[in-house]
Amino acid sequence: MDNFTKISAIDFKTELHEWDKVLLDVRTPWEAQMFWVIENNQLLIDIYAQWAAEKILKLDKTKKYLIYCHSWSRSTTVRNFMKQNSFKYAKDLEWWIDAWNLLK
């Protein structure tokens, strides 16, 4: 099983409810306020902020991360960055936040 891949909204929802996952939202603060939020206890890191890479590198590399963004490309970028920097597990939501909204 690949620990670094895109997953469907259904699989994302299933994995999200496992006890050891961290939900990582890599949208801008404006997007997080204007559009859907998956859960209120997520970690928001604005990927466009100049300190974003530094903040990601300070995260616990042994935890499992589920990543999403507004348009899919940023979550893929973050997932690949985490893989290159020895994180254990990072998956991102296929078809971005709109896919999640269709589950409601």
Q: What is the CATH number of the domain that holds 39?
A: 3.40.250.10
What percent of the chain shows pLDDT beyond 90? 48
Q: What is the pTM for the complete model shown?
A: 0.86
Average pLDDT of the chain to the nearest whole number: 86
Number of domains in the chain: 1
pLDDT at residue 38, rounded to an integer: 64
Q: For the segment 64-95, what is each residue's pLDDT rounded down to a tens digit?
A: 999 988 877 899 999 999 999 999 999 998 87
Structural domain for 84, as ranges:
4-102
List beta partners, residue 4.
Answer: 90
Element spanning 93, H or E: strand 89-93
Return the closest-CA partner of residue 3 out of 91, 92, 77, 69.
91
Q: What is the dihedral of CA 9, 11, 12, 15, to 10 degrees?
A: 160
